[in-house]
């Protein structure tokens, strides 16, 4: 397997040299029509990772007075990195178009991660979540076609299939059926820790995005659809964050997050075709190497341990974030009927009664995802192009 | 900025990736939709339910504020002053006021676009400044008309709000640094077409509500708006012709 050898040992930009102007942060956005969809996938992914970096460090700061000035310093740079990245999305994306792009991120990134993940249980968890985000794409695509009269493939650009996955109406589970087993920090490979941190970041962002924009729709069906899927995204955050070892100290989690950012920017820089955006990924890769070094120094100072205890391991290169359709279809064929029972994945006949009861009540006054997508078959040019 | 959109790497259509499209269609045949029977009418049914729910309690986007000027109300009495359905006239006057006020800002955004062009034409800028000035005058006239009825010209009436919601797309088009002249003129044409019809209807409404003075004071803006429409349409025609020649 092709790996990033020695990536974490590279020298980065020192933290005090990481500066921005407003003009750099609110720079020219990408073109919705002409840029490759994978450029948008990387932008959304990296914004999710940077906003999670802020979130993690804010939570850490509440428990560690001695770290607060250091965390404040690094967070300010991350705030500006997140802005420079997220402002690349042009203002002519409607909220539903950005939503479709978010689901494409969830599918292509989770599929790439699931195929690289060495821990079988963790890989199974990614495949389980993948089939649900895959279904969200189908429901939102139907909503987009039927609300705005546009083709979701204008956003997806042929890289991702638009078909039902595990039906959204079946995702709603009793909370205890969303908590998973975790890796063991002393035996898990570094890439396993990185994957969990990355997918948790991405799902958290998706949840927050739906919560922020769902109520901006006037259409009652769209409002209800966002309410339904935002709830599932909260379940996904619960699932993915529970994959991480809860016995890790805050500083261990911080180191893993910085390593994950280095890995993610290196992957983006390697795969990016737009030269202007590639230069941004390279710049931020250097910034992250600086952050990692900064965090390692603090780890040595406060925990009096060697960061290598946490960060050693091979880093297989990230798979392409497009055309993972064969993997998705195979997963769909084999695992669509799996359900969660506690930390286990079981055939749907063995599903927990509590989850069924929970779901039946939520669905008892109508199911928004079913209403939005009844009979929907994706057709090039929208379903109105479909010949009778 | 004055040039038409170039031929390039637009990636949105299926012709750009025929192999992917083939596989996407194949997927829709292998993995069928799972909520049969049904179609988009399920959404319509749900919308009808919600509309009826709001109707049942007479809940709209908001209400028309009652005239608050004691002076205005005492002077002539509300009914006498505004006829049978005073809220309708106040709402529509509020709508026109909001539209003209936003119109001033829309022209400001459009002027930036015209001024940025390498071949910026001073006469065109002058014409746009004149139109913008007239929109501001119309706004002031509406403000005075609303005040004579004792109503509040600073309130956002329901129709003002709805027309503002409609204008959101126009604002996005005009302020996007990447949109070209013809695209912006098209946006302004939408604004002026609506404005024309709306002034015409407002004059009829004011007459019907027994406010002949207000109705006749609107004749001047009506003529201006007719001129605006002719000018914007001509500019768009010229722009498209230049691009074709």
**Is the pLDDT confidence value at B176 over 60?**
yes
DSSP states of chain B as a string? --SPPPP-----SGGG-HHHHHHHHHHHHHS--SS-S--THHHHHHHHHHHHHHHHTT--S--PPPP--HHHHHHH-HHHHH-S-HHHHHHHHHHHHHHHHHHHHHHHHHHHHHHHSTT--HHHHHHHHHHHHHHHHHHHHHHHHHHHTT--TTS--HHHHHHHHHHHHHHHHHH-TT--HHHHHHHHHHHHHHHHHHHHHHHHHHHHTT-HHHHHHTHHHHHHHHHHHHHHHHHHHHHHHHHH-
pLDDT in the model for residue A180: 98
**Is the pLDDT confidence value at B1 over 60?**
no
**Is the pLDDT confidence value at B6 over 90?**
no
Nearest CA in chain B to A371: B42
Residue A10, chain B, CB below 8 Å: the answer is no
Q: In this structure, are residues A117 and A151 in contact, taking their beta carbons and an 8 Å threshold?
A: no
Give the helix ranges, DSSP H, for A245-378: 250-271, 275-303, 308-311, 325-335, 353-362, 368-373
Nearest to B165 by CA among B61, B87, B63, B90: B61
In a domain, residue A1? The reply is no
Question: How far is B90 from B87, CA to CA, in rounded Å?
Answer: 5
pLDDT tens for chain A, 388 residues long, are 799 999 999 999 999 999 999 999 999 999 999 999 999 999 999 999 999 999 999 999 999 999 999 999 999 999 999 999 999 999 999 999 999 999 999 999 999 999 999 999 999 999 999 999 999 999 999 999 999 999 999 999 999 999 999 999 999 999 999 999 999 999 999 999 999 999 999 999 999 999 999 999 999 999 999 999 999 999 999 999 999 999 999 999 999 999 999 999 999 999 999 999 999 999 999 999 999 999 999 999 999 999 999 998 999 999 999 999 999 999 999 999 999 999 999 999 999 999 999 999 999 999 999 999 999 999 999 999 998 7
Residue B61, chain A, CB below 8 Å: the answer is no
Structure tokens given for A302: 């406060």
CB contact under 8 A, B33 and A164: yes
Q: In this structure, are residues A145 and A382 in contact, taking their beta carbons and an 8 Å threshold?
A: yes
Label residue B203 by pLDDT band (50, 70, 90): very high
Q: How far is A189 from chain B (nearest CA, A)?
A: 35
In a domain, residue A46? The reply is yes
Q: Could you check whether the bond before residue B37 is cis, i.e. omega within 30 degrees of 0?
A: yes
Q: CB neighbours (10 Å) of residue A340? A: 23
In a domain, residue A2? The reply is no
DSSP states of B41-63 as a string? HHHHHHHHHHHHHHHHTT--S--
∠ Cα B47 B52 B55 (to 5°): 130
* Total structural domains within chain A: 1
Across-strand partners of A339?
Answer: A346
Label residue B76 by pLDDT band (50, 70, 90): very low
pLDDT in the model for residue B70: 46
CB neighbour burial string for A160-174, b if at least 16 within 10 angstroms, e if fewer = bbbbbbbbbbbbbbb
ipTM of the shown complex: 0.92
**Is the pLDDT confidence value at B74 over 70?**
no
Label residue B46 by pLDDT band (50, 70, 90): very high
Per-residue pLDDT averaged across B77-103, rounded? 84
What CATH homologous superfamily does B69-244 map to? Answer: Ferritin, core subunit, four-helix bundle (1.20.1260.10)
pLDDT in the model for residue B244: 82
CB contact under 8 A, A374 and B38: yes
The pLDDT > 70 percentage for chain B reads 92
Eight-state DSSP code of residue A158: T
Q: Count Cβ atoms within 10 A of the Cβ of residue A54 and give its class: 0-12 exposed, 13-18 middle, 19 or more buried.
A: middle
Among A35, A220, A367, A386, pick the best mutation site for testing chain B contact (most B Cβ within 10 A).
A220
**Is the pLDDT confidence value at B184 over 90?**
yes
Nearest to A380 by CA among B33, B19, B40, B25: B25
pLDDT in the model for residue A312: 87
Question: How far is A32 from A183, CA to CA, in rounded Å?
Answer: 39
pLDDT in the model for residue A207: 98
In a domain, residue A370? The reply is yes
Question: How far is A262 from A33, CA to CA, in rounded Å?
Answer: 30
Residue A149, chain B, CB below 8 Å: the answer is no
pTM (two decimals): 0.96
Residue B21, chain A, CB below 8 Å: the answer is yes
Q: CB neighbours (10 Å) of residue B74? A: 10
Give the domain extent around A214.
7-385
In a domain, residue A149? The reply is yes
Nearest to A299 by CA among A248, A344, A350, A337: A248
pLDDT in the model for residue B177: 96
pLDDT in the model for residue B79: 53
């Amino acid at each position: 397997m092709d790996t990033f050898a020695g990536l974490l040992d590279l020298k980065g930009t020192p933290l005090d040299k990481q500066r921005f102007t407003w003009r750099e942060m609110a720079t020219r956005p990408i073109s919705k029509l002409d840029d490759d969809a994978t450029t948008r996938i990387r932008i959304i992914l990296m914004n999710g990772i940077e906003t999670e970096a802020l979130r993690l460090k804010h939570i850490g700061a509440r428990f560690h007075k001695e770290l607060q000035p250091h965390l404040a310093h690094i967070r300010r740079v991350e705030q500006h990195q997140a802005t420079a990245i997220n402002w690349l999305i042009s203002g002519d994306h409607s909220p539903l178009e950005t939503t479709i792009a978010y689901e494409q991120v969830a599918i292509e990134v989770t599929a790439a991660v699931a195929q690289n993940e060495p821990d079988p249980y963790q890989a199974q968890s990614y495949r389980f979540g993948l089939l649900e985000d895959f279904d969200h794409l189908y429901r939102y695509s139907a909503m987009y076609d039927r609300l705005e009269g546009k083709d979701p493939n204008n956003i997806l650009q042929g890289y991702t299939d638009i078909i039902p996955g595990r039906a959204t109406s079946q995702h709603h589970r009793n909370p205890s059926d969303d908590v998973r087993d975790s890796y063991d920090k002393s035996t898990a490979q570094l890439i396993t820790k990185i994957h969990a941190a990355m997918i948790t970041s991405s799902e958290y962002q998706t949840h927050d995005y739906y919560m922020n924009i769902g109520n901006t729709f006037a259409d009652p069906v769209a409002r209800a659809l966002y309410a339904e899927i935002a709830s599932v995204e909260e379940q996904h955050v619960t699932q993915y964050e529970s994959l991480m070892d809860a016995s890790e100290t805050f500083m261990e989690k911080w180191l893993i997050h910085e390593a994950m950012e280095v890995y993610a920017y290196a992957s983006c820089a390697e795969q990016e075709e737009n030269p202007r955006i590639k230069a941004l990924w390279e710049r931020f890769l250097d910034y992250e190497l600086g952050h990692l070094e900064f965090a390692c120094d603090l780890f040595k100072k406060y925990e009096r341990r060697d960061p290598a205890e946490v960060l050693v391991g091979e880093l297989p290169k990230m798979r392409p974030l497009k055309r993972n359709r064969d993997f998705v279809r195979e997963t769909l064929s084999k695992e669509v009927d799996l359900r969660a029972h506690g930390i286990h994945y079981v055939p749907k006949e063995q599903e927990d009664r509590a989850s069924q009861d929970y779901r039946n009540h939520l669905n008892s006054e109508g199911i928004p995802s079913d209403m939005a997508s009844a009979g929907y078959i994706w057709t090039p040019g929208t379903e109105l192009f479909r010949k009778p | 900025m004055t040039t038409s959109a170039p031929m390039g790497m637009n990636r949105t259509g299926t012709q750009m990736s025929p192999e992917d499209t083939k596989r996407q269609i194949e997927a829709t045949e292998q993995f069928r939709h799972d909520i049969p029977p049904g179609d988009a009418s399920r959404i319509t049914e749900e919308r009808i339910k919600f509309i009826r729910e709001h109707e049942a309690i007479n809940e709209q986007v908001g209400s028309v504020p009652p005239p608050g000027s004691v002076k205005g109300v005492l002077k002539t009495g509300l009914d006498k002053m505004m006829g049978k359905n005073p809220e309708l006239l106040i709402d529509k006057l509020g709508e026109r006021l909001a539209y003209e006020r936003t119109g001033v800002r829309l022209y400001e955004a459009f002027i930036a676009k015209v001024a940025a062009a390498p071949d910026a034409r001073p006469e065109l800028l002058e014409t746009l400044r004149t139109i913008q000035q007239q929109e501001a005058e119309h706004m002031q006239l509406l403000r005075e008309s609303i005040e004579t009825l004792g109503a509040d010209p600073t309130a956002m009436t329901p129709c003002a709000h709805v027309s503002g919601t409609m204008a959101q797309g126009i604002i996005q088009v005009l302020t996007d640094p990447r949109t070209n002249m013809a695209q912006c003129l098209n946006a302004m044409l939408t604004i002026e077409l609506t404005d024309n019809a709306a002034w015409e209807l407002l004059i009829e409404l004011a007459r019907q509500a027994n406010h002949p003075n207000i109705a006749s004071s609107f004749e001047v803006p009506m003529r201006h708006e007719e001129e605006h429409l002719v000018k914007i349409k001509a500019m768009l025609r010229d722009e498209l012709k230049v691009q074709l020649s």
